[in-house]
């Protein structure tokens, strides 16, 4: 009986092995249909580095501020001309007509500008007068004296025009307190929308010529755009 059992057990084991072999050879686990490694996460189409942020169109440096256009601070729109005391409007017009003003202009006679007062000191007395004025620093404006022929033009502060000591100094050196005549010149449109100014080069030439006139002391430029430098 034990032999029969052994044979049965052996038969069952053999049958089981045969069954397993059949399963593995005829219907194996389909490894050809595993997790589809033939279609992975598409690394052939990554974040598109072939079209990066378009550096071929940066902030347009090929069109900078137009440097071919004159600097606005070199465009002189007008002038403030300082004439000597007593110069009339007709004299102003007559004087300016003798110069090449570059383009048409408008005159504002007796314009309200500062400073207003001055004294003319001849060269014989200039040392003494300057010495006195240096002691009384509030009597003058911080503006250099202008040499005009045999005289120096010294700008006086309005604060002292009634000062007794100042008046005594005027009397001592036979000086008179005088008042500038200021005139504004404005250049006008004549050849188009951008012709209400002249170049600083032309303005400087004109300034140098005008200041040679005995009736003109100094000239300031009024630029097309602020700020302007009143010392030029």
| Reported CATH class of domain 116-179 | alpha beta
Query: Who's near 219: CB < 8 A, 6+ residues apart?
Result: 79, 80, 81, 82, 207, 210, 211
Same topology, domains 73-113+180-232 and 116-179? Answer is yes
Bridging pattern class, strands 117-122 and 198-199: unpaired
Extended strands (E) in the chain: 75-83, 105-108, 117-122, 146-148, 151-156, 178-179, 181-187, 198-199, 216-223
Cross-strand bridge partners of residue 156:
117, 140
Report the C-alpha gap between 153 and 119 in whole angstroms.
6
pLDDT band at 28 (very low <50, low <70, confident <90, very high): very low
C-alpha angle 130/133/138, rounded to 5°?
150
pTM of the model: 0.64
Considering the domain 73-113+180-232 in this protein, what is its CATH number? 3.30.70.260
Query: Who's near 228: CB < 8 A, 6+ residues apart?
Result: 73, 221, 222
DSSP state of 70: P
Residues 34-90 have pLDDT tens digits of: 434 443 434 344 444 444 444 333 433 333 333 334 566 678 999 999 999 999 999
For the chain, domain boundaries: 73-113+180-232, 116-179
């Amino acid at each position: 009986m034990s032999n029969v059992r052994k044979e049965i057990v052996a038969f069952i084991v053999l049958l089981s092995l045969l069954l397993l072999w059949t399963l593995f050879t005829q219907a194996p686990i389909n490894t050809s249909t595993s997790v589809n490694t033939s279609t992975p996460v598409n690394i052939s189409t990554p974040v598109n580095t072939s079209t990066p942020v378009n550096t071929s169109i940066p902030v347009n440096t090929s069109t900078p501020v137009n440097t071919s256009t004159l600097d606005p601070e070199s465009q002189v729109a007008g002038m403030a001309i300082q004439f000597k005391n007593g110069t009339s409007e007709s004299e102003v017009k007559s004087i300016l007509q003798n110069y090449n003003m570059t383009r048409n202009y408008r005159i504002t006679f007796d314009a309200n500008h500062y400073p207003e007062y001055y004294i003319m000191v001849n060269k014989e007395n200039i040392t003494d007068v300057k010495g006195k004025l240096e002691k009384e620093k509030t009597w003058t404006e911080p503006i250099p004296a202008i040499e005009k022929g045999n005289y120096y033009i010294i700008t006086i502060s309005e604060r002292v025009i009634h000062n007794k000591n100042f008046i005594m100094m005027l009397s001592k050196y036979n000086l008179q307190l005088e008042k500038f005549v200021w005139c504004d010149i404005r250049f006008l449109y004549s050849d188009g929308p951008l012709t209400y100014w002249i170049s600083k080069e032309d303005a400087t030439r004109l300034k140098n010529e005008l200041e040679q006139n005995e009736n003109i002391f100094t000239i300031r430029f009024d630029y097309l755009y602020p700020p302007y430098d009143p010392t030029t």
